[in-house]
Chain A
Protein backbone atom coordinates (compact mmCIF):
# COMPACT_ATOMS: atom_id res chain seq x y z
CA UNK A 1 0.00 0.00 0.00
CA UNK A 2 2.91 2.34 0.75
CA UNK A 3 4.46 1.57 -2.63
CA UNK A 4 1.16 2.29 -4.35
CA UNK A 5 1.00 5.70 -2.64
CA UNK A 6 4.55 6.54 -3.72
CA UNK A 7 3.79 5.62 -7.36
CA UNK A 8 0.63 7.72 -7.28
CA UNK A 9 2.61 10.65 -5.88
CA UNK A 10 5.23 10.35 -8.62
CA UNK A 11 2.49 10.24 -11.31
CA UNK A 12 0.97 13.40 -9.84
CA UNK A 13 4.35 15.11 -9.86
CA UNK A 14 4.74 14.29 -13.56
CA UNK A 15 1.27 15.45 -14.61
CA UNK A 16 0.45 18.48 -12.41
CA UNK A 17 1.67 22.01 -13.27
CA UNK A 18 4.76 23.58 -11.70
CA UNK A 19 4.53 24.77 -8.09
CA UNK A 20 4.53 28.60 -8.10
CA UNK A 21 3.32 31.35 -5.80
CA UNK A 22 0.03 31.26 -7.68
CA UNK A 23 -0.60 27.61 -6.72
CA UNK A 24 0.24 27.85 -3.01
CA UNK A 25 -2.06 28.64 -0.10
CA UNK A 26 -1.57 28.37 3.71
CA UNK A 27 -3.48 25.55 5.49
CA UNK A 28 -6.94 26.29 6.86
CA UNK A 29 -6.77 28.01 10.25
CA UNK A 30 -3.00 28.56 10.32
CA UNK A 31 -3.02 32.26 9.57
CA UNK A 32 -5.35 34.30 11.77
CA UNK A 33 -5.78 37.99 10.85
CA UNK A 34 -4.50 40.40 13.48
CA UNK A 35 -6.93 42.82 15.13
CA UNK A 36 -6.07 46.29 13.80
CA UNK A 37 -7.03 48.90 16.38
CA UNK A 38 -8.85 52.12 15.53
CA UNK A 39 -10.46 50.94 12.29
CA UNK A 40 -14.08 50.71 13.40
CA UNK A 41 -16.57 48.31 14.97
CA UNK A 42 -14.76 45.82 17.18
CA UNK A 43 -11.10 46.77 16.83
CA UNK A 44 -11.99 50.45 17.22
CA UNK A 45 -14.09 52.73 19.57
CA UNK A 46 -12.24 52.26 22.91
CA UNK A 47 -9.55 50.12 21.17
CA UNK A 48 -9.36 47.47 23.95
CA UNK A 49 -8.26 50.06 26.58
CA UNK A 50 -11.34 50.03 28.83
CA UNK A 51 -13.30 53.08 30.20
CA UNK A 52 -11.49 56.20 31.64
CA UNK A 53 -8.99 56.00 34.46
CA UNK A 54 -5.34 55.07 34.53
CA UNK A 55 -5.99 52.06 32.29
CA UNK A 56 -7.34 54.02 29.35
CA UNK A 57 -4.95 56.94 29.86
CA UNK A 58 -1.87 54.66 30.05
CA UNK A 59 -0.78 55.88 33.51
CA UNK A 60 -0.74 52.67 35.51
CA UNK A 61 2.04 52.34 38.14
CA UNK A 62 5.09 50.08 37.68
CA UNK A 63 5.01 46.29 37.91
CA UNK A 64 5.00 45.06 41.51
CA UNK A 65 3.49 48.26 43.00
CA UNK A 66 0.76 47.39 45.53
CA UNK A 67 -0.85 50.79 46.02
CA UNK A 68 1.65 51.93 48.67
CA UNK A 69 1.77 48.75 50.73
CA UNK A 70 5.32 47.39 50.88
CA UNK A 71 5.41 45.17 47.82
CA UNK A 72 6.11 41.43 48.04
CA UNK A 73 9.51 41.71 46.38
CA UNK A 74 10.66 44.17 49.09
CA UNK A 75 9.03 42.45 52.08
CA UNK A 76 11.04 39.27 51.60
CA UNK A 77 14.60 39.73 52.94
CA UNK A 78 17.64 39.12 50.76
CA UNK A 79 19.55 35.83 51.15
CA UNK A 80 22.63 34.65 49.33
CA UNK A 81 20.97 32.14 46.99
CA UNK A 82 22.54 33.71 43.94
CA UNK A 83 25.82 34.90 45.46
CA UNK A 84 28.66 34.29 43.07
CA UNK A 85 26.35 32.64 40.51
CA UNK A 86 28.45 34.11 37.75
CA UNK A 87 31.52 32.37 39.12
CA UNK A 88 29.92 28.94 39.48
CA UNK A 89 30.96 26.26 37.01
CA UNK A 90 28.13 24.91 34.88
CA UNK A 91 28.07 21.66 32.96
CA UNK A 92 25.57 21.02 30.17
CA UNK A 93 23.77 17.72 30.91
CA UNK A 94 23.87 14.92 28.36
CA UNK A 95 21.55 12.01 29.09
CA UNK A 96 22.36 8.48 27.99
CA UNK A 97 18.98 8.44 26.25
CA UNK A 98 20.03 11.40 24.09
CA UNK A 99 23.39 9.80 23.40
CA UNK A 100 21.70 6.58 22.30
CA UNK A 101 19.35 8.64 20.10
CA UNK A 102 22.29 10.41 18.44
CA UNK A 103 24.14 7.14 17.84
CA UNK A 104 21.03 5.48 16.41
CA UNK A 105 20.44 8.36 14.02
CA UNK A 106 24.06 8.31 12.96
CA UNK A 107 24.83 11.84 14.13
CA UNK A 108 27.62 10.58 16.38
CA UNK A 109 29.93 7.79 15.23
CA UNK A 110 30.55 5.14 17.92
CA UNK A 111 33.48 3.74 15.90
CA UNK A 112 35.57 6.83 16.73
CA UNK A 113 36.38 8.24 20.18
CA UNK A 114 33.53 10.56 21.18
CA UNK A 115 34.70 14.00 22.17
CA UNK A 116 32.95 17.27 22.91
CA UNK A 117 33.73 18.39 19.35
CA UNK A 118 32.04 15.26 17.96
CA UNK A 119 28.96 15.91 20.08
CA UNK A 120 28.76 19.53 18.93
CA UNK A 121 29.32 18.56 15.29
CA UNK A 122 26.42 16.14 15.59
CA UNK A 123 24.41 18.97 17.19
CA UNK A 124 23.85 16.78 20.25
CA UNK A 125 24.65 19.45 22.86
CA UNK A 126 25.06 23.21 22.81
CA UNK A 127 27.83 24.50 25.05
CA UNK A 128 28.35 28.21 25.72
CA UNK A 129 31.87 28.72 27.14
CA UNK A 130 31.12 32.42 27.70
CA UNK A 131 28.25 31.57 30.07
CA UNK A 132 30.51 29.84 32.59
CA UNK A 133 29.98 26.43 30.96
CA UNK A 134 32.93 24.19 31.66
CA UNK A 135 31.75 21.34 29.46
CA UNK A 136 29.33 18.43 29.47
CA UNK A 137 28.18 16.07 32.22
CA UNK A 138 26.74 12.58 31.77
CA UNK A 139 23.31 12.07 33.31
CA UNK A 140 21.62 8.77 34.13
CA UNK A 141 18.35 9.23 32.22
CA UNK A 142 18.14 6.27 29.84
CA UNK A 143 20.61 4.05 31.70
CA UNK A 144 18.35 1.02 31.30
CA UNK A 145 17.96 1.45 27.53
CA UNK A 146 21.56 2.29 26.75
CA UNK A 147 23.32 -0.30 24.58
CA UNK A 148 26.28 1.13 22.68
CA UNK A 149 29.99 0.45 23.01
CA UNK A 150 31.74 3.83 22.96
CA UNK A 151 34.86 5.62 24.07
CA UNK A 152 33.51 8.87 25.46
CA UNK A 153 35.23 11.80 27.10
CA UNK A 154 33.16 14.23 29.15
CA UNK A 155 33.86 16.71 31.94
CA UNK A 156 31.75 15.11 34.67
CA UNK A 157 29.94 11.79 34.94
CA UNK A 158 27.70 10.28 37.58
CA UNK A 159 28.34 6.79 38.92
CA UNK A 160 25.30 5.12 37.36
CA UNK A 161 26.11 6.64 33.97
CA UNK A 162 29.68 5.28 34.16
CA UNK A 163 28.30 1.86 35.16
CA UNK A 164 25.81 1.85 32.27
CA UNK A 165 28.52 2.63 29.70
CA UNK A 166 31.03 0.13 31.09
CA UNK A 167 28.36 -2.57 31.25
CA UNK A 168 28.10 -2.35 27.46
CA UNK A 169 31.85 -2.64 27.06
CA UNK A 170 32.60 1.05 26.65
CA UNK A 171 35.09 3.42 28.25
CA UNK A 172 34.44 6.73 30.05
CA UNK A 173 37.01 9.39 30.92
CA UNK A 174 36.47 12.71 32.64
CA UNK A 175 38.86 15.52 31.73
CA UNK A 176 39.22 19.22 32.36
CA UNK A 177 39.18 22.01 29.79
CA UNK A 178 39.88 25.58 30.85
CA UNK A 179 37.55 28.17 29.25
CA UNK A 180 39.97 29.12 26.46
CA UNK A 181 40.58 25.49 25.48
CA UNK A 182 36.87 24.81 25.73
CA UNK A 183 36.08 27.60 23.28
CA UNK A 184 38.66 26.22 20.87
CA UNK A 185 37.26 22.71 21.28
CA UNK A 186 33.68 23.83 20.66
CA UNK A 187 34.45 25.94 17.57
CA UNK A 188 37.66 24.58 16.01
CA UNK A 189 37.15 26.05 12.54
CA UNK A 190 36.74 29.60 13.88
CA UNK A 191 39.93 29.15 15.88
CA UNK A 192 41.95 27.78 12.96
CA UNK A 193 40.90 30.76 10.84
CA UNK A 194 42.58 33.04 13.39
CA UNK A 195 45.95 31.56 12.51
CA UNK A 196 47.14 31.22 16.11
CA UNK A 197 49.10 28.18 17.33
CA UNK A 198 47.09 25.64 19.32
CA UNK A 199 47.63 26.49 23.01
CA UNK A 200 48.32 23.84 25.62
CA UNK A 201 45.40 22.82 27.81
CA UNK A 202 45.75 24.08 31.37
CA UNK A 203 45.65 21.78 34.39
CA UNK A 204 42.57 21.90 36.65
CA UNK A 205 42.31 24.41 39.54
CA UNK A 206 42.80 23.32 43.16
CA UNK A 207 39.21 22.41 43.92
CA UNK A 208 38.97 20.18 40.84
CA UNK A 209 42.31 18.39 41.18
CA UNK A 210 40.84 15.96 43.71
CA UNK A 211 37.96 15.20 41.36
CA UNK A 212 40.14 14.50 38.32
CA UNK A 213 42.75 12.45 40.18
CA UNK A 214 40.07 10.13 41.57
CA UNK A 215 39.71 6.75 39.82
CA UNK A 216 36.04 6.54 40.86
CA UNK A 217 35.26 9.48 38.58
CA UNK A 218 37.51 7.98 35.85
CA UNK A 219 39.57 11.18 35.95
CA UNK A 220 42.19 11.70 33.26
CA UNK A 221 44.86 12.34 35.88
CA UNK A 222 44.07 9.18 37.86
CA UNK A 223 46.30 6.10 38.11
CA UNK A 224 45.34 3.57 35.37
CA UNK A 225 45.69 0.58 37.73
CA UNK A 226 43.32 2.27 40.19
CA UNK A 227 40.90 2.89 37.34
CA UNK A 228 40.95 -0.86 36.58
CA UNK A 229 40.18 -1.63 40.21
CA UNK A 230 37.39 0.94 40.24
CA UNK A 231 35.90 -0.69 37.13
CA UNK A 232 35.82 -4.07 38.86
CA UNK A 233 34.32 -2.56 42.00
CA UNK A 234 31.59 -0.84 40.06
CA UNK A 235 30.77 -4.10 38.28
CA UNK A 236 30.45 -5.84 41.64
CA UNK A 237 28.28 -3.08 43.02
CA UNK A 238 25.84 -3.05 40.13
CA UNK A 239 25.87 -6.80 39.59
CA UNK A 240 27.07 -7.18 35.97
CA UNK A 241 30.09 -9.02 34.57
CA UNK A 242 32.66 -6.54 33.29
CA UNK A 243 33.29 -7.29 29.59
CA UNK A 244 36.98 -7.68 28.77
CA UNK A 245 37.87 -4.83 26.41
CA UNK A 246 41.38 -6.13 25.67
CA UNK A 247 39.80 -8.97 23.67
CA UNK A 248 37.67 -6.52 21.73
CA UNK A 249 38.29 -5.77 18.05
CA UNK A 250 37.95 -2.04 18.77
CA UNK A 251 40.43 -2.16 21.67
CA UNK A 252 42.80 0.20 19.86
CA UNK A 253 40.08 2.82 19.50
CA UNK A 254 38.72 2.28 23.02
CA UNK A 255 42.11 2.84 24.60
CA UNK A 256 42.97 6.11 22.78
CA UNK A 257 43.23 8.91 25.30
CA UNK A 258 44.29 12.51 25.02
CA UNK A 259 47.46 13.81 26.63
CA UNK A 260 46.63 16.13 29.58
CA UNK A 261 47.98 19.10 27.58
CA UNK A 262 46.37 18.14 24.28
CA UNK A 263 43.14 19.69 23.00
CA UNK A 264 42.52 17.79 19.76
CA UNK A 265 43.20 14.19 18.87
CA UNK A 266 46.12 14.06 16.50
CA UNK A 267 47.15 17.71 16.93
CA UNK A 268 49.75 18.74 19.47
CA UNK A 269 49.96 22.15 21.19
CA UNK A 270 52.09 24.64 19.29
CA UNK A 271 51.02 23.59 15.80
CA UNK A 272 49.36 26.07 13.46
CA UNK A 273 46.62 24.69 11.23
CA UNK A 274 46.17 26.58 7.98
CA UNK A 275 42.79 25.74 6.44
CA UNK A 276 43.31 27.75 3.23
CA UNK A 277 46.68 26.14 2.44
CA UNK A 278 45.52 22.80 3.89
CA UNK A 279 48.82 22.50 5.79
CA UNK A 280 49.97 22.10 9.37
CA UNK A 281 52.94 24.21 10.50
CA UNK A 282 54.99 22.91 13.41
CA UNK A 283 57.40 25.02 15.49
CA UNK A 284 61.14 24.36 15.12
CA UNK A 285 62.64 26.74 17.69
CA UNK A 286 64.08 24.95 20.73
CA UNK A 287 62.50 27.23 23.30
CA UNK A 288 59.06 26.90 21.72
CA UNK A 289 59.37 23.13 21.58
CA UNK A 290 60.42 23.06 25.21
CA UNK A 291 57.52 25.31 26.20
CA UNK A 292 54.90 23.33 24.33
CA UNK A 293 56.08 19.94 25.48
CA UNK A 294 56.24 20.85 29.18
Chain B
Protein backbone atom coordinates (compact mmCIF):
# COMPACT_ATOMS: atom_id res chain seq x y z
CA UNK B 1 0.00 0.00 0.00
CA UNK B 2 2.81 2.34 0.96
CA UNK B 3 4.63 1.71 -2.29
CA UNK B 4 1.62 2.40 -4.47
CA UNK B 5 0.26 5.56 -2.94
CA UNK B 6 3.09 7.73 -4.15
CA UNK B 7 2.66 7.72 -7.89
CA UNK B 8 2.64 11.46 -8.33
CA UNK B 9 1.31 11.06 -11.87
CA UNK B 10 -1.84 9.40 -10.54
CA UNK B 11 -2.49 12.09 -7.95
CA UNK B 12 -3.18 15.71 -8.89
CA UNK B 13 -1.31 17.94 -6.44
CA UNK B 14 -2.01 21.64 -6.24
CA UNK B 15 -0.88 24.35 -3.87
CA UNK B 16 -2.64 27.50 -2.82
CA UNK B 17 -2.59 30.02 -0.03
CA UNK B 18 -3.71 28.94 3.42
CA UNK B 19 -6.36 30.58 5.54
CA UNK B 20 -6.03 32.03 9.02
CA UNK B 21 -3.86 34.72 10.61
CA UNK B 22 -0.26 35.26 9.66
CA UNK B 23 0.17 38.64 7.99
CA UNK B 24 2.26 38.96 4.87
CA UNK B 25 3.59 35.44 5.04
CA UNK B 26 0.20 33.72 4.96
CA UNK B 27 -0.93 36.09 2.21
CA UNK B 28 1.94 35.39 -0.14
CA UNK B 29 3.25 31.91 0.49
CA UNK B 30 1.51 28.87 -1.06
CA UNK B 31 1.41 26.40 1.77
CA UNK B 32 -1.97 24.70 1.51
CA UNK B 33 -1.60 21.40 -0.30
CA UNK B 34 -4.52 19.73 -2.04
CA UNK B 35 -4.40 16.23 -3.45
CA UNK B 36 -7.14 14.83 -5.64
CA UNK B 37 -7.54 11.67 -7.67
CA UNK B 38 -10.36 10.07 -9.61
CA UNK B 39 -11.69 7.36 -7.32
CA UNK B 40 -13.37 5.11 -9.88
CA UNK B 41 -10.30 4.87 -12.11
CA UNK B 42 -7.79 4.41 -9.28
CA UNK B 43 -6.63 0.89 -10.10
CA UNK B 44 -4.08 0.88 -7.28
CA UNK B 45 -7.01 0.39 -4.87
CA UNK B 46 -8.99 -2.90 -5.00
CA UNK B 47 -12.56 -2.64 -6.41
CA UNK B 48 -14.49 -3.42 -3.22
CA UNK B 49 -12.34 -1.00 -1.21
CA UNK B 50 -13.05 1.68 -3.80
CA UNK B 51 -16.80 1.17 -3.47
CA UNK B 52 -16.59 1.22 0.31
CA UNK B 53 -14.63 4.47 0.16
CA UNK B 54 -17.20 5.99 -2.17
CA UNK B 55 -19.84 5.18 0.47
CA UNK B 56 -17.85 6.21 3.57
CA UNK B 57 -16.35 9.45 2.27
CA UNK B 58 -19.23 10.76 0.19
CA UNK B 59 -18.55 14.27 1.45
CA UNK B 60 -15.00 14.32 0.14
CA UNK B 61 -15.98 13.31 -3.41
CA UNK B 62 -17.00 15.99 -5.86
CA UNK B 63 -19.41 15.78 -8.80
CA UNK B 64 -16.64 14.68 -11.18
CA UNK B 65 -15.96 11.69 -8.95
CA UNK B 66 -12.62 12.91 -7.57
CA UNK B 67 -11.66 12.29 -3.95
CA UNK B 68 -10.21 15.50 -2.52
CA UNK B 69 -7.94 15.69 0.51
CA UNK B 70 -6.36 18.95 1.62
CA UNK B 71 -4.19 20.09 4.49
CA UNK B 72 -3.13 23.50 5.74
CA UNK B 73 -1.94 22.51 9.20
CA UNK B 74 1.77 23.13 8.76
CA UNK B 75 3.81 26.14 7.65
CA UNK B 76 5.62 24.08 5.07
CA UNK B 77 4.27 22.91 1.73
CA UNK B 78 6.22 19.65 1.92
CA UNK B 79 4.87 18.78 5.32
CA UNK B 80 1.30 19.57 4.23
CA UNK B 81 1.77 17.25 1.27
CA UNK B 82 3.06 14.52 3.59
CA UNK B 83 0.01 15.02 5.83
CA UNK B 84 -2.31 14.74 2.78
CA UNK B 85 -0.67 11.49 1.70
CA UNK B 86 -0.88 10.16 5.25
CA UNK B 87 -4.60 11.02 5.32
CA UNK B 88 -5.18 9.19 2.03
CA UNK B 89 -3.36 6.14 3.39
CA UNK B 90 -5.56 6.32 6.48
CA UNK B 91 -8.75 6.46 4.41
CA UNK B 92 -7.74 3.45 2.35
CA UNK B 93 -6.70 1.46 5.45
CA UNK B 94 -9.99 2.32 7.12
CA UNK B 95 -11.95 1.09 4.12
CA UNK B 96 -9.90 -2.11 3.92
CA UNK B 97 -10.51 -3.33 7.46
CA UNK B 98 -13.00 -6.17 7.80
CA UNK B 99 -15.40 -6.60 10.74
CA UNK B 100 -13.84 -8.73 13.44
CA UNK B 101 -15.12 -12.29 13.32
CA UNK B 102 -15.08 -13.76 16.80
CA UNK B 103 -14.62 -17.54 16.56
CA UNK B 104 -16.97 -19.81 18.42
CA UNK B 105 -14.33 -20.96 20.91
CA UNK B 106 -13.30 -17.40 21.75
CA UNK B 107 -16.89 -16.26 22.30
CA UNK B 108 -17.42 -19.30 24.59
CA UNK B 109 -14.29 -18.41 26.49
CA UNK B 110 -15.44 -14.81 26.87
CA UNK B 111 -18.79 -15.86 28.32
CA UNK B 112 -17.01 -18.27 30.69
CA UNK B 113 -14.66 -15.51 31.80
CA UNK B 114 -17.52 -13.13 32.60
CA UNK B 115 -19.33 -15.81 34.61
CA UNK B 116 -16.17 -16.67 36.50
CA UNK B 117 -15.63 -13.01 37.36
CA UNK B 118 -19.16 -12.72 38.74
CA UNK B 119 -18.80 -15.89 40.82
CA UNK B 120 -15.52 -14.67 42.27
CA UNK B 121 -17.03 -11.30 43.06
CA UNK B 122 -19.95 -12.88 44.92
CA UNK B 123 -17.57 -15.21 46.83
CA UNK B 124 -15.45 -12.29 47.97
CA UNK B 125 -18.60 -10.43 48.95
CA UNK B 126 -19.72 -13.37 51.13
CA UNK B 127 -16.31 -13.59 52.82
CA UNK B 128 -16.32 -9.87 53.53
CA UNK B 129 -19.84 -10.14 54.92
CA UNK B 130 -18.84 -12.96 57.29
CA UNK B 131 -15.84 -10.93 58.49
CA UNK B 132 -18.09 -7.99 59.30
CA UNK B 133 -20.59 -10.32 61.06
CA UNK B 134 -17.84 -11.87 63.20
CA UNK B 135 -16.94 -8.37 64.47
CA UNK B 136 -20.46 -7.84 65.78
CA UNK B 137 -20.69 -8.38 69.52
CA UNK B 138 -24.19 -9.66 70.04
CA UNK B 139 -24.75 -10.49 73.65
CA UNK B 140 -27.75 -12.62 74.14
Minimum CB–CB distance from B133 to chain A (whole Å) comes to 52
> Does residue A55 face the partner (Cβ distance < 8 Å to B)?
no
> Does residue B96 face the partner (Cβ distance < 8 Å to A)?
no
Tell me which residues from 43 to 63 in chain A have a Cβ below 8 Å from any Cβ of chain B: none
The answer to whether A160 touches B76 (Cβ under 8 A) is yes
Binds B, one of A11-19, A121-129, A147-155, A238-246: A238-246
Tell me which residues from 23 to 50 in chain A have a Cβ below 8 Å from any Cβ of chain B: none
> Does residue A221 face the partner (Cβ distance < 8 Å to B)?
no
Residue of B nearest to A146 (CB): B78
The answer to whether A238 touches B82 (Cβ under 8 A) is yes
The answer to whether B78 touches A143 (Cβ under 8 A) is yes
The answer to whether B82 touches A239 (Cβ under 8 A) is yes
The answer to whether A239 touches B2 (Cβ under 8 A) is no
Residue of A nearest to B79 (CB): A160
The answer to whether B82 touches A144 (Cβ under 8 A) is no
The answer to whether A240 touches B76 (Cβ under 8 A) is no
> Does residue A171 face the partner (Cβ distance < 8 Å to B)?
no
Minimum CB–CB distance from A236 to chain B (whole Å) comes to 5
Q: Do most interface residues of chain A lie in helix, strand or loop, or is the interface mixed?
A: helix
Tell me which residues from 1 to 40 in chain B have a Cβ below 8 Å from any Cβ of chain A: 2-3, 5-6, 8, 11, 13, 29-31
* Residue with the highest number of chain B CB atoms closer than 10 Å, among A140, A160, A237: A237
The answer to whether A140 touches B6 (Cβ under 8 A) is no
Minimum CB–CB distance from B55 to chain A (whole Å) comes to 26
Chain B contacts for A237, CB-based, 8 A: 82, 85-86
The answer to whether A144 touches B76 (Cβ under 8 A) is yes
> Does residue A164 face the partner (Cβ distance < 8 Å to B)?
yes
The answer to whether B77 touches A236 (Cβ under 8 A) is no
> Does residue A116 face the partner (Cβ distance < 8 Å to B)?
no
A160 to B78, CA, bound (A): 8
Tell me which residues from 143 to 177 in chain A have a Cβ below 8 Å from any Cβ of chain B: 143-144, 160, 163-164, 167
Chain B contacts for A167, CB-based, 8 A: 78
Minimum CB–CB distance from B89 to chain A (whole Å) comes to 10
A53 to B111, CA, bound (A): 88
Chain A contacts for B11, CB-based, 8 A: 239
The answer to whether A236 touches B8 (Cβ under 8 A) is no
Minimum CB–CB distance from A72 to chain B (whole Å) comes to 32
Minimum CB–CB distance from B71 to chain A (whole Å) comes to 12
A164 to B3, CA, bound (A): 20
A235 to B6, CA, bound (A): 9
Tell me which residues from 222 to 273 in chain A have a Cβ below 8 Å from any Cβ of chain B: 235-241
Assuming the A-B contacts A144-B29, A144-B31, are A239 and B85 also in contact, with contact meaning beta carbons closer than 8 angstroms in the complex? yes
Assuming the A-B contacts A236-B2, A238-B81, A239-B82, are A140 and B76 also in contact, with contact meaning beta carbons closer than 8 angstroms in the complex? yes
Residue of B nearest to A233 (CB): B2
A171 to B81, CA, bound (A): 22
Minimum CB–CB distance from A100 to chain B (whole Å) comes to 14
Tell me which residues from 54 to 112 in chain B have a Cβ below 8 Å from any Cβ of chain A: 76-79, 81-82, 84-86
A32 to B135, CA, bound (A): 95
Assuming the A-B contacts A144-B29, A144-B31, are A239 and B81 also in contact, with contact meaning beta carbons closer than 8 angstroms in the complex? yes
Chain A contacts for B76, CB-based, 8 A: 140, 143-144, 160
The answer to whether A144 touches B77 (Cβ under 8 A) is yes
Beyond A163-B78, A239-B6, A239-B13, list 9 extra A-B contacts (CB 8 Å).
Answer: A140-B79, A160-B76, A160-B79, A236-B3, A237-B82, A237-B85, A239-B8, A239-B81, A241-B8
27 A-B residue pairs with CB within 8 Å? A140-B76, A140-B79, A143-B77, A143-B78, A143-B79, A144-B29, A144-B30, A144-B76, A144-B77, A144-B78, A160-B79, A164-B78, A236-B2, A236-B5, A236-B6, A237-B86, A238-B79, A238-B81, A238-B82, A238-B85, A239-B6, A239-B11, A239-B81, A239-B82, A239-B84, A239-B85, A240-B8
